[in-house]
């Protein structure tokens, strides 16, 4: 089980970035996302995507992040530009255990660095938690997202020109 | 030379996503980004990052996207969830030529699909142009971003706990 924990979400400022984090979590193979602030709008957006495009991804907002971290039964990874090298760190993760991936917004409190089993950087340059999560999941799941089936009501078929959409929606 | 062309940028709605697109372009190995709408704020943000963290990445906003596409001397790739498979498409790109990577916001006009030499999907699920660009550059440059040197005034050193920052700024 792979869970993404999005912390420091501010509804007005972060709504689109957090939506992208959630969509990336779903598309690249996580099972669910937990978001610290209550945000019904983002729940609706993600649930609507799941409803149309398939899969069993779950979203929950307004969770107590300290409690989630404290009670986590498995490995906790924190993605940060200050973290240790990706290739080296990823080998240390036991794939048999549940994995919690913590993804912060701008300021991350020190206890997150301390509580994580591994602080991992996707390069040490400033970029994006959306990209960091995608690259991390890509490496961790060895690129398997590319063949993942979601069996949604809407399926997009690969096409070099134009749009090929297979829809079970009447 | 790798250029990212960000189209459909709406200043208020997209500022953070477009900033992430630009930071990903820089961190994952593109040379510059062109943005269709004029946005001085985003120019400042990215120039400030380049000034502190190094590298030669350039940003230009308020460009004429039709002109850029029409006059492009090289290959044009458009990243879209409707596009063709990544592994198959990426092999078709001539690495000796200049590359223009078009990254849209929500609605992309049909002429973009038609003008692109390749419409490429990073999976056919909805997710994020930020993630799509990161994964595309990762595959296209064969993961070389990870060892790229930027020689900035500020350098973040990999660290498992806490933050290690080497700064030439007084």
Q: What is the pLDDT of residue B107?
A: 85
Q: What is the pLDDT of residue B5?
A: 98
| Alpha carbon distance A106, A150 (integer Å) | 32
Q: Which residue of A has its CA nearest to B110?
A: A162
- Segment B115-139 shows an average pLDDT of 97
| Alpha carbon distance B36, B67 (integer Å) | 11
Of A27, A49, A89, the CB nearest to B123: A27
* More confident call, B105 vs B75: B75
Residue A142 has pLDDT above 70, yes or no: yes
Q: Which residue of A has its CA nearest to B148?
A: A123
Contact A126 B82 (CB under 8 A): no
Residue B44 has pLDDT above 90, yes or no: yes
Contact B119 A20 (CB under 8 A): no
Kindly write down the DSSP assignment for every residue of chain A, as one continuous string: -EEEEE-S--HHHHHHHHHHHHHHHHHTT-SEEEESS--HHHHHHHHHHHHHHBS--EEEES--HHHHHHH--SEEEEEEEEEEEHHHHHTTS-TTS-EEEEE--S---HHHHHH-SEEEESSSS---HHHHHHHHHHHHTTTGGGG---B-SEEEEP-SSS-EEEE---
Contact B134 A128 (CB under 8 A): yes
Could you say which DSSP state residue B144 is in? Answer: G
Contact B150 A125 (CB under 8 A): yes
| Alpha carbon distance B45, B47 (integer Å) | 6
What residues have CB less than 8 Å from A43, skipping those under 6 apart?
A59, A60, A61
Residue of B121, B124, B139, B140 for testing the chain A interface, max A β-carbons within 10 Å: B124
Structural contact between residues B55 and B150, judged by C-beta atoms closer than 8 angstroms = yes
Q: What is the ipTM of this complex?
A: 0.96
> Of the candidates A135, A101, A136, which has an alpha carbon nearest to the alpha carbon of residue A117?
A101
Q: What is the pLDDT of residues A62-116, one digit of tens each?
A: 999 999 999 999 999 999 999 999 999 999 999 999 999 999 987 899 999 999 9
What residues have CB less than 8 Å from B143, skipping those under 6 apart?
none
Q: What is the pLDDT of residue A129?
A: 97
Residue of A6, A158, A163 for testing the chain B interface, max B β-carbons within 10 Å: A158
Residue A33 has pLDDT above 70, yes or no: yes
- Segment A27-52 shows an average pLDDT of 97
Mean pLDDT, all residues of chain A: 95
Residue A163 has pLDDT above 70, yes or no: yes
Give the minimum alpha-carbon distance from A63 to chain B in angstroms, rounded to a whole number: 23
Distance of CA B105 to the CA centre of its chain: 13
Q: What is the pLDDT of residue B106?
A: 76
| Alpha carbon distance B119, B101 (integer Å) | 10
- C-alpha distance from residue B73 to each of A42, A64, A87, A114, B69 (Å): 41, 53, 36, 50, 9
Provide the token pair at B81.
């969830």
Contact A162 B85 (CB under 8 A): no
Model confidence at A122, in pLDDT bands (50, 70, 90)? very high
Q: What is the pLDDT of residue B170?
A: 59
Number of residues in chain B: 170
Q: What is the pLDDT of residue A162?
A: 86
């Amino acid at each position: 089980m792979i869970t993404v924990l999005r912390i420091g979400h501010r509804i007005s400022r972060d709504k689109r970035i957090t939506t992208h984090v959630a969509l990336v979590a779903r598309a690249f193979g996580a099972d669910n996302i937990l978001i610290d602030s209550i945000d019904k709008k983002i729940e609706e957006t993600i649930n609507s995507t799941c409803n149309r495009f398939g899969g069993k991804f779950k979203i929950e907002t307004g969770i107590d992040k300290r409690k989630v971290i404290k009670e986590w039964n498995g490995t906790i990874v924190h993605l940060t530009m200050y973290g240790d090298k990706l290739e080296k760190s990823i080998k240390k993760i036991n794939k048999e255990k549940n994995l919690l991936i913590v993804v912060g917004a701008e300021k991350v409190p020190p206890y997150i660095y301390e509580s994580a089993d591994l602080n991992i950087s996707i390069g040490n340059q400033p970029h994006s938690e959306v990209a960091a999560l995608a690259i991390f999941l890509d490496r961790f799941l060895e690129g398997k997202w590319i063949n993942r089936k979601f069996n949604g009501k809407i399926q997009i078929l690969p096409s070099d020109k134009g749009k090929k959409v297979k829809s079970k929606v009447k």
